[in-house]
Amino acid sequence: MTKIYAIVNQKGGVGKTTSVINLSAYLAATGRRTLMVDIDPQANATSGVGVDKTALEASIYDLLLEQTAVADVCVERAEFNLDLVPSSPALSGAEVELVNAIGREYRLQKALDELNGRYEYILIDCPPSLSLLTVNALTAARDGVLIPVQCEYLALEGLSQLTQTIELVRKYLNPDLTIRGLIMTMYDSRTNLSRQVVEEVRSYFPGKVFRTIVPRNVRLSEAPSYGQPINVYAPTSPGALAYKVLTAEILKGDQVKETTA
């Protein structure tokens, strides 16, 4: 069965898109059929795997407005062994166009259901806001959300609002929605602050924070400008090794859940 995760945090600059790209790439590298869905109008995940967001014939915008089928939107990234549902700047107008649409919160879920188990993993990159686009992602994310949290001051700011939104979506739209885990990002081992932030987040979300911590790493910042995931751009860098281990941790947790279900 396809596992669908939304990677979400309404706070920008926390490593959300970086996590989507690199987890998708490492999942694909293990041989698992993987689809990355970009539902952010900034389309950084799209350009981060080398797709020109200004030259697309169709994007997730057309998908949400039900003007095309998901199979016609998917872009194959054979060099990374994964597929992409790309975004484009046009997506910024989708919320206005969908405001009176029936079932507007279910548009993405409906589109992904058409794939009929074609992929083993689908990861959704959300915009840095709690908008209708994010709600669409949360409604479609039947296996939960992954929340990147930056290891810096005010890391918990906004998380309470996010958890409230998750609760509302669970209550009214997606009863299976859970927090799959929090990913600590941009960790600086030289500072006490980073260690304190990790401890604080773990105390607020006991048992929900992944053991693997993603360090602050210049290679992770550079890779998107070359249109490559970190396992291609700098496979031996600390950032690459962290995402490789994090992917293994997620896979192991998923296998445990399947055997105990």
Q: What is the pLDDT of residues 46-56, one digit of tens each?
A: 999 999 999 99
Residues 89-142 have pLDDT tens digits of: 999 988 889 988 889 999 999 999 999 899 999 999 999 998 999 999 999 999
Q: Has residue 87 been placed in a domain? A: yes
Number of compact structural domains in the chain: 1
Residues 197-231 have pLDDT tens digits of: 999 999 999 999 999 999 999 999 999 999 999 99
Given pLDDT bands bounded at 50, 70 and 90, which one contains residue 261? low
Q: Has residue 211 been placed in a domain? A: yes
Q: What is the rounded CA–CA span in Å between residue 103 and residue 81?
A: 33
Closest CA to 25 of 83, 88, 112: 83
Integer CA distances (angstroms), 115 to 70, 107, 238, in order? 8, 14, 35
Q: Has residue 76 been placed in a domain? A: yes
Q: Has residue 152 been placed in a domain? A: yes
**Domain of 13, in residue numbers:** 3-256
Q: Look up the pTM and report it.
A: 0.96
Output the domain CATH number for residue 194. Answer: 3.40.50.300
Q: Are 126 and 7 contacting, i.e. CB atoms less than 8 angstroms apart? A: yes
Does the pLDDT at position 11 exceed 70? yes
Average pLDDT over residues 171-190: 96
Q: Has residue 230 been placed in a domain? A: yes
Predicted local distance difference test score (pLDDT) of residue 17:
97
Q: Has residue 261 been placed in a domain? A: no
Torsion sign over Cα 234, 239, 245, 250: negative
Q: Are 102 and 74 contacting, i.e. CB atoms less than 8 angstroms apart? A: no
Q: Has residue 42 been placed in a domain? A: yes
